[in-house]
């Protein structure tokens, strides 16, 4: 009886399947997957190169001297240091240390054993140092960088600045405001959240509120590399928002600072995850609940559309649509990139909710380039529409329709159709988009709004 | 060759030549979605999970040497991706209305009923321990042979059978405790 019931249960599960995708949707899905795979392969190659970082510099000669001098008061080893000899010498105590050996013989064997172990350790250390230096040269660093340790400045407020040995910094701090002037060299900044922190390097000013990044200055050239969070770089040419993985300028990196920055970003991501988990736990432990602080609603449309239901009010289905960026990413994707993308999308949502469309658009640009999901494109469309760039917004919504789930496609279609029907005055195209997106179909999350819009199009 | 679901994937079994990744992925999309659907159930992150699985496949396919079918090669990858999602967010978030192809056709009432039943089925399924759940889905729902399921899970046949046994007994207990669902399932059986 129980077995039959369980079999019936399995059969019932088999009967349900997801709605099929048409060929275009499948192709879009596959293209997006292949693009992401290529990007990740590139990042993985980068990470592999980083893993070949050299070991910390040591005084190899004194270490070798110390090791070699250790058995000097013992019996001298055999004069022929051939591998076969060393092998037999090391194996002798283990395999044939008979009870009949005299104490002198045992001492002699132990001395030989210690000598050859020490020699092997010295050889390995020398080899590691040599390979490490070689790898560092290949990676673009200089052996001198490895030999000279960076200087660490621990500031009040939890900020940490790690400067290259040749960097010149001027630090001014008052209350929660920190201003660092980078005269020359390169420095890594691990900035605690919730403070006002800026780095001035020549004409460039880097504004930050909690992130990990490096700034390098060589003559008139300034380079910024962001490892976690986002920063805003201001110069006479304008302002630019950089998120993790972005590079301003094109400087050869200092391998030591680079490794430290990666570690700092990793630690910060882990802390963020822990605090996020704590917040969710204290909020009742329901993982699917949306935290309005962390995940505010999509942007509001400043201008009323042709129908009473504004685009961002996307109906119950869409309001409960997933925050794609809160889901786990492929395991091989770098933690930094995934975490910073989530931060950037969350920040963009906040900016949209605050009607700071330019900020939202700047934040979303790199994120969409890295992984153009339907949700991100729709946010980008919201930002463009807020900026009054309706043609681009419409095109972005239409891009969002590709590879989106049916719900998202319908919502993006309605958003595009509203722009076509309103500011762009292309009623026929608006109708086509509504049909194409499935927004008019029964079961669509925006079916009533879409039908109202379509009806208004018929009367024109 | 065909997958456990009867989906025909037209790739030579012993092809030593590198596969066309785009073509292979495109052919695999329906199968991957079906597998993911059965493993995860309907949830908001379903599309993301499918995309992540496709990304993993896109990275893995260049290493495919034709020693097995493409579906056999792909199945463990999809299961591993599903595990990540199951661990990250085990709760069911409801059935997206248009995500499901209802078995009951276009009748809205029957569709709603089907959706409700699907929710109930997955609620019960998700109460199973993770590994037992995956074993049950692979063997009982997807009808993958036990040996292949064990290979997908990377465990011995005995371990898989133990998981399956545990899943079945646990399910039977939970179904007995849900008379309404049991009655419906009995009705379906009749």
**8 Å CB contact of A407 and B30:** no
Do A220 and A86 reside in the same domain of the chain? no
Do A341 and A428 reside in the same domain of the chain? yes
Q: What is the pLDDT of residue B166?
A: 93
* Min Cα separation A441/chain B (Å): 10
Which of A58-67, A370-379, B98-107, B138-147 is modeled with the greatest confidence?
Answer: B138-147
**Cβ pairs A/B, distance under 8 A:** 175
Do A125 and A156 reside in the same domain of the chain? no
| pTM for this prediction | 0.38
> Out of A26, A33, A438, whose CB is closest to B55?
A33
Do A179 and A128 reside in the same domain of the chain? no
* Min Cα separation B51/chain A (Å): 6
**8 Å CB contact of B121 and A322:** no
- Spell out a b/e string for A115-146, using b for 16 or more CB atoms within 10 Å of the CB, else e: bbebbeebeebeeebeebbebbeebebeeebb
Q: Which residues contact A271 (CB under 8 A, 6 or more apart)?
A: none
> Out of B91, B101, B185, whose CB is closest to A17?
B101
- Bridge partners (DSSP) listed for residue A178: A173, A197
Do A320 and A406 reside in the same domain of the chain? yes
Do A326 and A354 reside in the same domain of the chain? yes
- Bridge partners (DSSP) listed for residue B29: none
Q: What is the pLDDT of residue B70?
A: 86
Return the closest-CA partner of residue A320 out of A298, A341, A346: A298
Do A93 and A172 reside in the same domain of the chain? no
* Min Cα separation B68/chain A (Å): 22
**8 Å CB contact of B33 and A18:** yes
* Encoded tokens for A64: 């070798």
Domain count, chain A: 3
Chain B neighbors of A328, CB-CB under 8 A? 52, 84-85, 88
Span B108-190: which CATH code? 1.10.10.10
* Residue A77 within a domain: yes
Per-residue pLDDT of chain B (190 residues; tens, 9 = 90+): 444 444 434 444 444 446 688 888 888 999 999 999 888 887 778 888 899 999 999 888 888 877 778 888 899 999 999 998 888 765 554 554 444 444 445 566 666 777 777 778 888 888 889 999 999 999 999 899 999 999 998 899 999 999 999 999 998 888 888 877 777 777 654 4
User: Half-sphere exposure of A268 toward its Cβ, with a 13 Å CA cutoff?
Assistant: 27
| A139-189 confidence digits (pLDDT tens) | 444 444 444 677 888 888 788 888 888 888 888 887 778 888 888 888 888
By residue count, chain B amounts to: 190
Three-class SS state of B161: helix
Q: Are A304 and A310 in contact (CB under 8 A)?
A: yes
Query: In chain B, which residues fall in CATH 1.10.10.10?
Result: 108-190
- Strand residue runs (E) in A151-303: 151-154, 160-163, 168-174, 177-190, 196-201, 204-208, 212-218, 221-228, 230-235, 238-243, 247-248
ipTM of the shown complex = 0.73
Pick the CATH number of B1-94 from 3.90.1860.10, 1.10.540.10, 1.10.1740.10, 3.40.190.10: 1.10.1740.10
CA pair distance A158, A307, nearest whole angstrom: 51
| A10-38 confidence digits (pLDDT tens) | 888 887 777 778 787 888 888 888 888 87
* Residue A199 within a domain: yes
Chain B neighbors of A345, CB-CB under 8 A? none
* Residue A273 within a domain: no
Do A333 and A203 reside in the same domain of the chain? no
Boundary-marking domain end, from A222, A241, A263: A263
Do A242 and A203 reside in the same domain of the chain? yes
* Mutation for testing the A interface, residue in B5, B29, B42 having most A CBs under 10 Å: B29
* Residue A348 within a domain: yes
Tell me, what CATH number does A191's domain have?
2.60.120.1440
* Residue A370 within a domain: yes
Residue predicted with more confidence, A209 or B78 = B78
* Residue A198 within a domain: yes
| A426-460 confidence digits (pLDDT tens) | 888 888 888 888 888 887 888 888 888 888 887 76
Do A153 and A255 reside in the same domain of the chain? yes
* Min Cα separation A352/chain B (Å): 23
Domain range enclosing A114? 60-138
Do A188 and A113 reside in the same domain of the chain? no
Do A168 and A212 reside in the same domain of the chain? yes
* Min Cα separation A314/chain B (Å): 15
> For the CA atoms of chain B, what is the radius of gyration?
17
User: Half-sphere exposure of A417 toward its Cβ, with a 13 Å CA cutoff?
Assistant: 33
CA pair distance B82, A331, nearest whole angstrom: 12
* Residue A216 within a domain: yes
* Residue A279 within a domain: no
CA pair distance A4, A54, nearest whole angstrom: 63
Give the pairing type, strands A196-201 and A204-208.
antiparallel
Chain B neighbors of A331, CB-CB under 8 A? 84
**8 Å CB contact of A12 and B185:** yes
Give the pairing type, strands A160-163 and A177-190.
antiparallel
H/E run at residue A269:
helix A255-282
Boundary-marking domain end, from A138, A163, A183: A138
**8 Å CB contact of A322 and B44:** yes
CA pair distance B141, B179, nearest whole angstrom: 22
Alpha helices in A155-254 (DSSP H): none
Q: Are A453 and A307 in contact (CB under 8 A)?
A: yes
Q: Which residue of B has its CA nearest to A326?
A: B45
Q: Which residue of A has its CA nearest to B117?
A: A12
Q: Which residues contact A365 (CB under 8 A, 6 or more apart)?
A: A380
**8 Å CB contact of A8 and B189:** yes
Query: In chain B, which residues fall in CATH 1.10.1740.10?
Result: 1-94
Boundary-marking domain end, from A138, A169, A199: A138
């Amino acid at each position: 009886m129980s077995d039959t019931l369980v079999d019936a249960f399995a059969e019932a599960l088999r009967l349900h399947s997801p709605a099929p995708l048409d060929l275009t949707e499948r192709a879009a899905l596959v293209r997006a997957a292949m693009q992401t795979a290529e990007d990740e392969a590139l990042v993985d190659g980068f990470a592999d190169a980083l893993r070949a970082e050299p070991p910390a510099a040591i005084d190899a000669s004194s270490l070798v001297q110390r090791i070699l001098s250790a058995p000097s008061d013992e019996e001298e080893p055999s004069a022929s240091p051939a591998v076969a000899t060393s092998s037999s010498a090391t194996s002798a105590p283990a395999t044939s240390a008979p009870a009949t050996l005299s104490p002198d013989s045992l001492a002699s064997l132990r001395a030989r054993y210690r000598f050859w172990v020490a020699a092997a350790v010295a050889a390995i250390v020398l080899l590691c140092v040599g390979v490490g230096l070689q790898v560092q040269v290949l990676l673009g660093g200089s052996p001198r960088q490895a030999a000279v340790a960076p200087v660490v400045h621990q500031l009040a407020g939890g900020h940490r600045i790690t400067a290259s040995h040749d960097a010149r910094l001027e630090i001014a701090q008052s209350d929660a405001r920190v201003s660092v002037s980078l005269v020359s060299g390169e420095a890594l900044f691990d900035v605690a959240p919730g403070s006002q922190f800026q780095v001035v390097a020549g004409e460039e000013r880097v504004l930050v509120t909690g992130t990990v990044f490096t700034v390098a200055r060589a003559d008139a050239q300034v380079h910024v590399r962001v490892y976690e969070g986002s920063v805003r770089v201001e110069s006479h040419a304008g302002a630019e928002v950089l998120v993790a993985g972005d590079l301003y300028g094109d400087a050869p990196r200092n391998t030591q600072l680079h490794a430290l920055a990666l570690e700092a970003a990793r630690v910060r991501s882990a802390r963020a995850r822990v605090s996020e988990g704590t917040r969710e736990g204290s909020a009742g432990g329901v993982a699917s609940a949306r935290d309005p602080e962390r995940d505010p609603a999509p942007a509001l449309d400043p201008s009323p559309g042709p129908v009473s239901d504004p685009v961002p009010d996307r109906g119950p289905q869409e309001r409960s649509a997933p925050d794609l960026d809160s889901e786990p990413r492929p395991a091989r994707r770098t933690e930094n990139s995934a975490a910073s993308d989530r931060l950037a999308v969350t920040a963009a949502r906040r900016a949209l909710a605050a009607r700071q469309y330019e900020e939202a658009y700047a934040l979303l640009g790199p994120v969409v380039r890295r992984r153009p999901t339907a949700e991100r494109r729709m946010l980008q469309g919201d930002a463009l529409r807020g900026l009054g760039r309706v043609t681009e917004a419409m095109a972005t919504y239409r891009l969002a329709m590709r590879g989106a789930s049916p719900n998202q496609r319908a919502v993006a279609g309605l958003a595009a159709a509203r722009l076509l029907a309103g500011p762009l005055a292309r009623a026929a195209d608006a109708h086509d988009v509504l049909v194409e997106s499935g927004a008019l179909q029964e079961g669509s999350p925006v079916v009533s709004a879409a039908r109202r819009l379509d009806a208004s199009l018929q009367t024109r | 060759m065909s997958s456990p679901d009867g989906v025909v994937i037209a790739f030579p079994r012993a092809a030593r030549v590198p596969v066309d990744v785009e073509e292979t992925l495109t052919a695999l999309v329906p199968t991957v979605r079906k597998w993911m659907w059965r493993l995860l159930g309907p949830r908001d992150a379903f599309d993301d999970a499918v995309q992540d699985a496709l990304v993993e496949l896109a990275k893995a396919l260049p290493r495919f040497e034709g020693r097995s079918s493409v579906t056999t090669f792909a199945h463990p990858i999809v299961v591993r991706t599903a595990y990540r999602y199951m661990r990250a967010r085990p709760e069911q978030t409801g059935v997206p209305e248009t995500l499901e192809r209802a078995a009951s056709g276009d009748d809205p009432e029957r569709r709603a009923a089907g959706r409700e039943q699907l929710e109930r089925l997955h609620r019960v399924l998700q109460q199973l321990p993770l590994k037992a759940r995956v074993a049950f889905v692979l063997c009982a729902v997807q009808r993958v042979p036990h040996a292949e399921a064990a290979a997908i899970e990377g465990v011995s046949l005995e371990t898989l059978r133990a998981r399956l046994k545990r899943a079945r007994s646990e399910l039977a207990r939970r179904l007995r405790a849900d008379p309404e669902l049991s009655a419906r399932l009995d009705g379906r059986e009749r």
